[in-house]
Amino acid sequence: MTRFTPHPIFHRFPSFQGWAEPGFERGYYGMQIRDWIYTGTSKGYAERRFVHVDHPPVDEEYFEWITLLTAIAHAQEKFCIVELGAGWGRWITASALLCGRKGIEYSLVGVEAEPSRFNLMEMVLRDNWVEPEDHDLLQAAVAAADGEVFLAGNEDRREVYSHQMIRAHEVLEWQNLPGYVIRSVPAYSLQTICAPHPFIDVVDIDVQGAEYEILAGSFKAVSFKVGVVHIGTHSEDIEKSLRPLFGEMGWLKAFDYPCHRIVDTRFGTVAFVDGVQTWVNPDRPDLLAALIEG
C-alpha cells in the first residue's frame, strides 16, 4: 500500500479538539456547524460532546484547504478573502477562525445570490462569533459586468448546490424542470466587488459554470492586488479557456486537475467532481513555492 506525505502546511495549523454543543457539530479547525446544514435534516445531536476533528482528507477540497492555509500563513499585516458563490460561507468562516487562532486581522467578502443560502451565511458567521455587519457580504450574483441576471436552481432539494446564472433565452427551458425557481438578481463584476479592498490574499470561486465569463470580464483590472485565485471548475471547455487567460498575464499555476476524472495526485488518488485550478500572482513566488512544496 502506497503511503503519501501530507502537504507540510497542515503541520502549522493544529487540528481541532474540544466541545461540540447540542445541535452543532464541529468542522475542520473547530468551525461550529448546525447539525442540519449539509442535508436540511438534524442529526439529533442533543448532548454536549467532546470531539476530535482531524485534518481534511485527500479529496478535491484538499487543494482548497492547502491554498487557504498557505495564504493565511503568508498574510502580510491583514488577511482578506473574497468568496464568490459563497453558499453558507464555509471558506470565509474558516478564514475567520484560522486568522483568529494566528492573531491576524481579517476582512471577509462573501457573495451569494440565493436568498436562503445568503441568510445561512450570516447565521454561520454569527455561530462562529463573527459579526456579518463588520464584513462585506453581498446578496448578489457575480457576472462579467454590473447589472441584473437570471438565477435558476432547485428549491426543493436544499442540499443540492444547483443554482446558476442562465441567459434570457434559457428561462423557458429551466422553468419546466420540477422544483426549479428562476429569479432576477442583482449582479456585480469582480472589479466592483474587489474595489473597496486594497489587497486580497485569496479569491475563491465556485460559481457553477460562470467562472471563465466572470474572470474574463474584469480580472485583469484587479489582478495586481490579488495573491492567489482558487477555482472550482465545471467543464473541460472552461478549464481549457482559463489556462490562457491566466497564462497571458504571467500568472503561475500551482494546481490544475480536471473535473469528472480520477487522478493520481502527489497526495493520493482523488475522484474529482469539480475540477481544481489554483493560480498565483507572479509577484508572489513565495506563495507558489509554499503551495507546491508538498
So what's the pLDDT on residue 112? 95
CA–CA dist 224, 167 (Å, integer): 31
CA–CA dist 207, 225 (Å, integer): 21
For residue 282, give the C-alpha cell.
507572479
CA–CA dist 132, 137 (Å, integer): 7
Ordered alpha helix ranges (H), 46-89: 62-73
So what's the pLDDT on residue 18? 98
Distances (CA, A) of 36 to 22, 32, 118, 235: 12, 12, 16, 30
So what's the pLDDT on residue 181? 79
Amino acid code (one letter) for 150: F
Handedness of CA 280, 84, 171, 39 (dihedral sign): positive
> How does pLDDT run across 193-215, given as a tens digit for each residue?
999 999 999 999 999 788 999 99
- Long-range Cβ contacts of 36-45 (<8 Å, 24+ apart): 37/88, 37/120, 37/124, 38/159, 39/159, 40/158, 40/159, 45/20
Q: Where are the beta strands (DSSP E) in the chain?
A: 16-20, 24-26, 32-34, 49-53, 78-84, 105-111, 136-138, 141-142, 147-154, 164-166, 180-188, 200-205, 226-233, 252-257, 261-265, 268-272, 275-280
So what's the pLDDT on residue 185? 85
pLDDT in tens, the chain (294 residues): 467 899 999 999 999 999 999 999 999 999 999 999 998 899 999 999 999 999 999 999 999 999 999 999 999 889 999 999 999 999 999 999 999 999 999 999 999 998 889 999 999 999 999 999 999 999 999 999 999 887 877 766 555 556 776 666 666 666 667 777 777 889 999 999 999 999 999 999 999 788 999 999 999 999 999 999 999 999 999 999 999 999 999 999 999 999 999 999 999 999 999 999 999 999 999 999 999 985
So what's the pLDDT on residue 159? 52
Residues near 151 by Cβ (< 8 Å), separated by ≥ 6? Answer: 113, 114, 141, 163, 164, 165, 166, 182, 183, 184, 185
For residue 261, give the C-alpha cell.
476524472
**pTM assigned to the model:** 0.92
What does the CA dihedral 120, 85, 115, 174 come to, rounded to 10 degrees?
-130
- SS3 state at 2: coil
CA–CA dist 31, 129 (Å, integer): 10
> How does pLDDT run across 61-92, given as a tens digit for each residue?
999 999 999 999 999 889 999 999 999 999 99
Domains of the chain: 8-292 (3.40.50.150)
